[in-house]
Structures are given as C-alpha cells and as structure tokens.
Amino acid sequence: MSGKTLYDVLGVERNATAEQIRAAYLLRSKVLHPDRFDQNKQPTEWKLANELVKELNNAYSVLRNSLDRADYDRTLSGQSQSARTTSSQQQNTQRSQTSSPPPRPAPNVKLGKLQSGKTYFDLLPRSIQEQLKKRVAGTNKHQVSVKISGVGGNYFLGALFVGWYWFLLASASDSRWSSDGFWWLLAFTGLVAVLQGFNTDWILNWYRSPLRYRLFITPIYIIKTHWDEVSFWPLWEVTGMNATHKYTNGIYQGTDLTMSFKDQTENLKISPPEAYDRMREAMRAFTQKIQTAREQQDWQYFFDQDDFREFDSDKISTTRTRHVSQRTIVTFAASFLLSAILFGVAYGMNTRSPGSPVSTYTPPPTPTYSPPARQPNPFDVAEAQLKKKSQPAFSEPEQPTPEQGGMEYGDSYVNSTGTTAPLKITTRASDGNYVMKVVNWDTGEFVASYFINRGSTLSIELPLGSYKLKFASGDKWYGTKFLFGPRTSYSYIPDKMTFYLSGDYARGHRIELIPQVGGNLDTRPMSSVDW
C-alpha cells in the first residue's frame, strides 16, 4: 500500500501504544482545530483545517479500536484478503457468502420466520414479552446492551424551568412590571409551561415504559426498543455499520452510529465510545456462531436463540393508531395550572400597592444614598448642658419596637385619591431603627410617618408631589413622643424628592441608607426642634 497511512496522519509509529495514539490525536486536534481561524478573514486556512481535522478524526476512529486497527494492519501488510474494500460490489459478495440466512431446518425443528419486523410491546405474545423484559433487566447474559437515551438531561431541563419560576417571583418583588414587560413575561411563562409538559411527559414515559430506549446485540438479532415500540433485524441483514466518534477540543461528545439493513437505515447516537467496540465484537462473535451452526446444520441453536420465534407479522399488527394518552393530557394540564398559579402569585406581588391606579412602574435612575457619620447627639453642647442642670435624668420606660410600616398619616395623605408613586427605603442592620417623616416641600405640611426596622426595606406609595424626608434613628424605642430617647439622632435629605407621572409610568425613588463609595445623595444633621 502506497501513500500516507493512518499512522502518518497521527504522526506515530506502527507499533505505537493506545496511549501514544490518543496523546498524538489530542495534540494534533488542538493544533489543527478550525476554531483557531476566522472563517470570514481566513477562509482558505479554515477550510484546510476542517479537512485535516476530518482526516485526523477518521484515522483516530480506526486506530483507537483494537479490532479495526488489526484489520487495517493486515491490509497494510497484505496478509488478509478479507480486509475492508472500497467496492460495494465486493462487500455485498462477501456478505452473501458469510452472512447468508440459514437454509431450511430439519423437519423436527420448527423455527420462526427469522426476519425483521416492527411492532408494539403489548401486541407481542407473552413469551416474547418476558424475553424482552429479561434483556432490559440484564438477566440474559447472551447480549450486549447499549443505552441510546436517558433522563439525565431532562432533570437538568427541569431545574432550568424551576429557575425561571424563581426569577419570575424575584422580579415581581423587586420592581413594578412595565406593560411590555408583563406580556413578555406572560408569553415566556406559557412557553415554559409547554416545554415543562413535554419534559415531564418524557420522564414519566421513561419510568413507566417496560422497554426504555436501548439497542441490543443478541445471538441472532439486533433489537431496538423505544418506549413501547420494538424493532428487530437478523444479524445477516446488516449491510453496513459506520460510527463517528465526535470530539471537540479533545472532549468526547458522543458517537453517531449509522446501521444499514436490507430495506432501511437507522441513525442512532450512543455513548461511551467503548460501546461501539463492544457492539462490533459481539456482532463478529455471534455472526461466527451463526455461520458455524449453519455449516453444522445445528438448527437447535437458532431455535434456542430466536427471541421472536412466535412472532408472525400476518397475525400480529405492526401499526396502530396513535393517540394522546390520558396521562399526557393530565401532565400538560398540571404544567399549565402550576405556571398559571405561580404567574398569578407573581402578578399579585407586583401589583400590591394600595391606592395606586397606575399598573406599571419603571423606577428612574435615582441617586444612591451615602449618609454621613451618625451624630452622637442631636442636641448642641449648650442645650445638653442646660438640660443636664435643669432637668431630671431621662426615666421613660422602654417600649416594644413597633411593626414596620405607617405610623401616622396627615390630612393630605388621607384625602388623596389620585395617582401614587413608589418609594423604597433600605437600611443597614448596624445603624439601628429609623422613623421617617414625610412633609410637603412647599408648605411644610406633615404628610406621613413610617417606622423602618434595622436591616430591612420599606416599600410604600406616596401621592404625586414634592416632599422633604426627615429621619430619626436609634436603638431603644420609647414611643412616638420620645422616639429613641435622648440618644435619638436626627437628619434630613436637603434635596427635593419629587414623585411624578411620566406618560404611563409613575416615577418614584429608591434610597439606600447605606454608606457606599461614590454615594451621590447628601444628608445633613438637624436638631430635635427642627424635627
């Protein structure tokens, strides 16, 4: 044989070990990978890299398999006339000589038809059903079983769907949805419901199926099962088999298997790569036994190994009307119901804002808050000294901390009936509790007051207008009159906080009472008198 050999393609010697062949393949696949070239800017290099990688994959596919490599070595040495040929006519001639079906059996041995077929599990005779169950369970040792598909990927998809619902609920509590955002979220939730239905139905089918999704190499047949469907072909009807082991950057991505029979072709995906080796070895061993039994007229061998001896396509239907099962309908209904409930909960969380007729909200790019160092005492030195001399020590009893939310409302708030806008206040746990007082910016009229627990977020709605926000903070609570006692710290935001309507959106503010680098909202101390 002249020209470049497969060993030359990988750059190894003919006596190279399996480890050396694999190492050479990984090294060259990284160097020659098409991803190293820009398809648009380097089309010539990219095309050449694809051709070289294809040649490299073919060489590795042959040399990594001990049986294929042995055949290839015999071809190189000219020691075997039964090696692979490129002529389909020669291949067909060889198969007709070595893989022909057995001739007519002896009169005392009643064989089945020994032919290919396809039907459904529940239509088969009980004896064939029991035999297939043994093969699925693995109790029949005379076989090679290869898993075609599983449910691991479906569990991963299920986790992604759960993640979508978590995101939906989180976004509902974070900010008001816009009108467009509402419809996008609704549409995507509907799509998730459909995909979740298909995914759950696949998992249920997998566990309820008596057969699963597998390929079996048996002493006489190749059997493929898919849920409740059964397809089978005698080994002598195989006219070709080709496998492509897919690697990306040296990482195995599965094996594409093409099996050709007399009247059809099956395209399957199997893994790991060793599965293909086991299949080929089993097919060769079983084919040899079939040939030996045929030559010795050992019809009992075919009788004992014929799983489908009682299968008669003239009496057993091979087709039936497919209909949606009740279980599938219930699965999809449950998926849609769950999605509808969770979306309804999210929508309720998002629209829970009493007195606000505006259904959509997009917060403006409001400033973040960078508070100054906490004042040790809101009173100036002179006032403190005066109180210390003329007044008795503070002796009011400490009271339970009130619940977070509104404490008192002014007439302007109570009588307001118009549009409202949101306000969110976030506090730091180490800064104590807060009382926030809202007053009208123009008139100074009291609007409302709220209690904010340390380390929490207060979400409220205020009537449209401009306000001044004042804060009192401390640790121990002594009631609405004394607030946090003599150690109460008072401050205010000097900027006007305006709540207004822009188109269909109510514009509010989000303030973080947390010191942070680059904070752009100022606060200033104030006395208890100005509070």
pLDDT at 235: 93
**Is 395's pLDDT higher than 60?**
yes
CATH class of 94-150+212-305: mainly beta
Of all residues in the chain, the percent with pLDDT exceeding 90 is 29
**Which pLDDT tens digit goes with each residue over 60-108?**
888 888 777 887 888 887 644 443 444 434 444 344 344 555 556 666 6
pLDDT at 423: 92
Kindly state the tokens that stand for 418.
Answer: 């118009």
CB atoms within 10 A of CB 188: 13
pLDDT at 84: 41
Among 76-85, 130-139, 316-325, 412-421, which stretch is predicted with the lowest mean pLDDT? 76-85
User: What is the four-CA torsion angle of 74, 69, 54, 8, rounded to 10 degrees?
Assistant: -60
Kindly state the tokens that stand for 148.
Answer: 């075609």
pLDDT at 105: 66
Kindly state the tokens that stand for 340.
Answer: 């509808």
Q: How far apart are alpha carbons 292 and 116 in whole angstroms?
A: 22
Element holding 339 (H helix, E strand): helix 326-350
pLDDT at 38: 81
Q: Please, which pLDDT band fits residue 286 given cuts at 50, 70 and 90?
A: very high
Q: Are strands 251-261 and 265-270 parallel, antiparallel or unpaired?
A: antiparallel
Dihedral angle sign, alpha carbons of residues 205, 209, 215, 221:
negative
pLDDT at 79: 43
Mean pLDDT for the stretch of residues 424-444: 91
Of all residues in the chain, the percent with pLDDT exceeding 70 is 83
CB atoms within 10 A of CB 482: 14
> Shortest CA distance to 237 belongs to which of 223, 256, 255, 257?
223
Q: What angle do CA 244, 250, 254 make, to 5 degrees?
A: 35
Q: How far apart are alpha carbons 523 and 436 in whole angstroms?
A: 13
Q: Name the burial class of residue 61, with classes exposed (0-12), middle (13-18) and buried (19+) by CB atoms within 10 angstroms of its CB.
A: buried
Q: Which residue has the higher pLDDT, 382 or 337?
A: 337
pLDDT at 490: 93
Q: Which residue has the higher pLDDT, 113 or 379?
A: 113
Residues 6+ apart with CB under 8 A from 261: 116, 233, 237, 238, 239
Question: What ranges do the domains of the chain cover?
Answer: 6-81, 94-150+212-305, 381-525
Residues 6+ apart with CB under 8 A from 434: 425, 427, 451, 452, 454, 471, 472, 473, 513
Which homologous superfamily is 6-81 in? DnaJ domain (1.10.287.110)
Q: Give how far Cα 79 sits from Cα of 5, 25, 73, Å.
A: 17, 27, 9
Q: What angle do CA 236, 282, 16 make, to 5 degrees?
A: 120
Among 58-62, 269-273, 351-355, 466-470, which stretch is predicted with the lowest mean pLDDT? 351-355
Q: Please, which pLDDT band fits residue 273 given cuts at 50, 70 and 90?
A: confident
Q: Which residue has the higher pLDDT, 305 or 368?
A: 305
Q: Please, which pLDDT band fits residue 142 given cuts at 50, 70 and 90?
A: confident
**Which pLDDT tens digit goes with each residue over 113-135?**
888 999 988 888 898 999 999 99
Q: How far apart are alpha carbons 181 and 171 in whole angstroms?
A: 11
Long-range contacts, stretch 325-332, CB < 8 angstroms, 24+ apart? 327/201, 327/204, 327/208, 328/201, 331/197, 331/200, 331/201, 331/204, 332/194, 332/197, 332/201
pLDDT at 33: 80
Q: Token match 């000294």: residue?
A: 385
> Shortest CA distance to 472 belongs to which of 399, 368, 374?
374
**Which pLDDT tens digit goes with each residue over 324-347?**
678 889 898 999 999 999 999 988
Q: Which residue has the higher pLDDT, 517 or 307?
A: 307
CB atoms within 10 A of CB 271: 17
Mean pLDDT for the stretch of residues 237-260: 87
Written as one letter, the residue type at 182 is F
Tell me whether the CATH fold assigned to 6-81 matches the one assigned to 94-150+212-305.
Answer: no
**Which pLDDT tens digit goes with each residue over 156-201?**
889 998 999 998 888 887 767 777 788 999 999 999 999 999 999 8
pLDDT at 477: 92
